[in-house]
Amino acid sequence: MLNEKMQKALNEQINKEMYSAYLYLAMSAYCSYKGLAGFANWFKVQYGEEMEHADKIYKYLVEQGARVELEAIEKPPTEFGTLLEMFEKTLAHEQFVTHLIRELLELAVAEKDYATSIFLQWFVEEQVEEEANDSAIIAKLKLAGEDGAALLVIDSDLGKRGH
């Protein structure tokens, strides 16, 4: 059974994960509008992953007999600048989520909630992967610069990302 402090923190994380999904859906829409189907696909897949993260926490709360309390999701931006700026914002957002996961893990340890500590390990590993993926795309975008042909190759590559 989760204590109230842990329940509240996990419910807040559901909201943060759903905001992340909403943010990536907005980025996908922005890329679609700009005619960048591969980038749009990458962000749409990212949207799905964030929804899965929220669902994973939701299911954990239910399994623990805790109350799930959903809050309003903040509206994401609609403008993101260049592709490089967009991925720099994506990396910064993932670093923020990593910070949130670390705080949850610290709370679980402080509360001696070993089940939640173990549950959160998956998210710790997931954040390492998220940040590495974003950093790799940023490196490619920096190499490409303003070269349209190089950007189209990256767009094509990101379009291959599966769900």
Strand, helix or coil for residue 34: coil
d(CA 69, CA 67): 6
Look at residues 7, 8, 130, 14 and name the one whose alpha carbon lies nearest to residue 73.
14
Note whether 124 and 105 are within 8 A (CB): yes
Can you identify the CATH homologous superfamily of domain 4-158?
A: Ferritin, core subunit, four-helix bundle (1.20.1260.10)
Q: Where are the domains of the chain?
A: 4-158
Largest CA distance in the chain: 55
pLDDT for the residue 13: 98
- The share of the chain scoring above pLDDT 90, in percent, equals 97
The confidence band for 163, taking pLDDT boundaries of 50, 70 and 90, is low
pTM exceeds 0.85: yes
What's the whole-number mean pLDDT along residues 127-145? 97
Q: Is the pLDDT of residue 105 over 70?
A: yes
Across the chain, what does the average pLDDT equal?
96
